[in-house]
Amino acid sequence: MSVTEMFSYIQGFLSADHDVREDIRKVVQVLEQTAREILTLLQSVHQPSGFKEIPSKCAKARELFCTVQTQMADLKTKFPVEQYYRFHEHWRFVLQRLAFLAAFVVYLESETLVTREEVAQILGIEVVREKGFHLDIEDYLAGVLIMASELSRLAVNSVTAGDYNRPLRISNFINELDSGFRLLNLKNDPLRKRYDGLKYDVKKIEEVVYDLSIRGLAKEPEAGGDK
Amino acid sequence: MSNREGEGCPKKICDAAQANLSLPVIAAFKVFQQELDTKHDKYEHLVKISRDITIESKRSIFLLHRVTSLPDAEDALNEADVKLDGVRQKIGQIAEELRGEDIYQFHRAFTPGIQEYVEAVSFLHYIRHRSLISLEEINAKLVFMRTEKVDVKGSAEAQPHAAQVLTFQVMPSDYLLGVADLTGELMRMCISSVGNGDIDTPFQLSQFLRQIHDGFSYIGNTGPYEVSKKLYTLRQSLGKVEDACYALRVRGSEIPKHMLADVFSSRTTLIDPDEGLV
């Protein structure tokens, strides 16, 4: 094989790779649009009027997740399944977003931490890499951390809206989450940096709880935690 | 703030949670911890192997540079072969480590070593055959046999062994980057061959390097971004080699051989650093 032939072959390979990435980008753009719609929908719970409407917003969000599932199914067709990590960077951001949104919906519904399996089910993907397009564990954890920030904001806005009990429940939840994250041995990577932000969320929520307790505004949370 | 007393103090719950490992959240994170640790361990192991590969490949390259000045080139070439066989064994270890995994998940861990290996093995190939080794030829040598014990239940006899074939495929992008680095070594080879009185090699190299440079120009920006960075160095290398040929052609008969090398190292290249890709 001559030099020219070799480079021709490589160029063919690069060209094909380029095409696959273009296809993936298009689907990811669509996914991002849907993610933005779900986000806009759920953001409205921060408004005083939004609190009463939480159940209906969650239901609507779940409908939008069905759209996500269809789009995910489309994404899966764009590349060979065993090359997930070759193209992972393209959808990492949107998948983290979607994991956050799923976690947020589940929290609003049941005030529990969504499991990896539940997120995967909501998005229509797998948990285990060998079974197909899966949710990378670090993307799941990043989504959970994004939710923690959202909850610290929710704690503040609950008080403004007159709900003085929710912050205490959020506080217990976040502290449990923090204990969980402390178990992890993280490398100096983006996940670690994101985790570093969790302590500010914890602090913010603690301050809210403090403000309520010294003014006698908050009742003691029920024994047994936040379930 | 931390000395706050109050009902439902979060810190108490936090401590209780840490003590009570059966809480579902804590239990879940213990699983995450194990998964992440396993992944990081594997990644680090691959980084270590990659470093060993880099070192041995670099040593092979230094050895190969000495070939032109040695009386017995064949010995040195065989020694380089042996060294690179050792490197291939290490690549076999990478293949073992990656068995059942998505190789792209760990690519950044072993890509430096693999690029260095491509550089070394293509250098050896050029010295022997005066041609560019193909990706196929490289991958053909990265086939490993492993004997696995087959677990035969209920058998009291010695366990039979099954032969397993393990391969490692160098990716086109790593091949490309290794070849880009090769051009730097070829440029050095050109200069040192002139110093040894070899006035044929520079002209062969010049033609070869030009072909490689044209190949990279053809690929342009569509390759990995590191290629674009290396293209600048490649142009400098090509420029030096072309200047060497020019000097040999124009002034070669005038200059004593032992001074030829000095002539080339003092010539400045005329490549404009701001000249971008076509």
User: Residue B239's domain spans which residues?
Assistant: 171-278
Q: Two tokens at A75?
A: 């994404």
What is the identity of the amino acid at B159? Q
Which of A2, A8, A10, A21 has the highest number of chain B CBs within 10 A, making it the mutation to test binding with B?
A10
B102: contact with A, CB 8 A cutoff: yes
Average pLDDT over residues A97-115: 97
Q: Is A56 found in the same domain as A27?
A: yes
Same domain, B32 and B127: yes
Same domain for A99 and A59, yes or no, is yes
Same domain, A67 and A178: no
Whole-angstrom distance, CA of residue B9 vs CA of residue A113: 21
Indicate if A88 and A173 belong to the same structural domain: no
* Mean pLDDT, range B228-232, rounded to an integer: 87
Range of the domain at A208: 140-218
Q: What does the mean pLDDT of chain A come to?
A: 93
Measured distance CA(B229)–CA(B212) in Å, rounded: 15
User: Within this chain, do residues A155 and A116 fall inside the same structural domain, yes or no?
Assistant: no
> Is A224 contained in some domain?
no
Sequence ranges of the binding site of B for Mg(2+): 119, 185
Q: Does B162 have pLDDT greater than 90?
A: no
Provide the number of structural domains found in chain A. 2
Q: What is the pLDDT of residues B29-58, one digit of tens each?
A: 999 999 999 999 999 999 999 999 999 999
Residues in chain B: 278
Number of domains in chain B: 2
Considering A135, A160, A187, which residue would you say is the last residue of a domain? A135
The dihedrals phi and psi of A14, each to the nearest 5 degrees, come to -65, -40
Sole residue written with tokens 């072993």: B110
Q: What is the pTM of this model?
A: 0.85
| Domain limit, last residue, from B133, B163, B180 | B133
Question: In the numeric block, which tokens belong to residue B32?
Answer: 């995450």
What is the distance between the alpha carbons of residues A93 and A101, in angstroms, rounded to a whole number? 13
Do B16 and B91 belong together in one domain?
A: yes
- At residue B17, the pLDDT reads 45
Q: A220: annotated binding-site residue?
A: no
pLDDT the model gives residue B194: 81
Is residue A8 located within the same domain as residue A86? yes
Residue range A167-221, pLDDT digits in tens: 999 999 999 999 999 999 999 999 999 999 999 999 999 999 999 999 998 766 5
What pLDDT does residue B45 have?
A: 97
CA of residue A97 relative to chain centroid, distance: 5
A-B Cβ pairs (cutoff 8 Å, strict): 134
Q: Is B33 on the interface with A (CB under 8 A)?
A: yes
Nearest CA in chain B to A178: B14
Contact A206 B10 (CB under 8 A): yes
pLDDT mean over B241-260: 77
pLDDT band at B150, cuts 50/70/90? low
Most B-contacting residue of A2, A3, A129 (CB-CB within 10 A), to test interface = A3
Judge whether B160 and B152 are in contact, CB under 8 Å.
yes
Q: Do A3 and B105 touch (CB under 8 A)?
A: no
CA separation for the pair A194, A188 (Å, rounded): 10
Contact (CB, 8 A) for B21 and A126:
no
Phi–psi pair at B163, nearest 5 degrees? -85, 135
pLDDT at B196: 78
B215 in contact with A at a CB cutoff of 8 Å? yes
The token duo for B112 is 């430096």
Give the pLDDT confidence score for residue B159 in this predicted structure. 58
B256-278 pLDDT, tens per residue?
A: 666 666 655 554 444 344 444 44
* CA B199/CA B196 separation, integer angstroms: 9
Q: In the numeric block, which tokens belong to residue B120?
A: 């070394």
A14-33 pLDDT tens trace: 999 999 999 999 999 999 99
Residue tagged 């603690």 (tokens): A206
| Distance from C-alpha of B261 to C-alpha of B196, rounded to nearest angstrom | 9
Beta bridge partners of B162: B148
Euclidean distance between CA atoms B216 and A190, whole angstroms: 33
Interface test with B, best of A15, A141, A175, A227 (most B CBs within 10 A): A175
Residue ending a domain, among A114, A135, A156, is A135
Q: Which residues of B are annotated as a binding site?
A: 119, 185
CB contact under 8 A, B28 and A115: yes
- Which CATH number covers residue B188? 1.20.58.200
Query: Using an 8 Å Cβ cutoff, are A156 and B4 in contact?
Result: no
Query: How far off is chain B from A175, nearest CA to CA, in Å?
Result: 6
Q: In this complex, do B29 and A183 lie within 8 Å of one another by their Cβ atoms?
A: yes
Give the mean pLDDT of B6-22.
Answer: 49
Instruction: State residue B225's pLDDT score.
Output: 84
What is the C-alpha separation between B84 and B76, in angstroms, rounded? 12
Q: What is the pLDDT of residues B99-145, one digit of tens each?
A: 999 999 999 999 999 999 999 999 999 999 999 999 999 999 999 98
B148 in any annotated domain: no
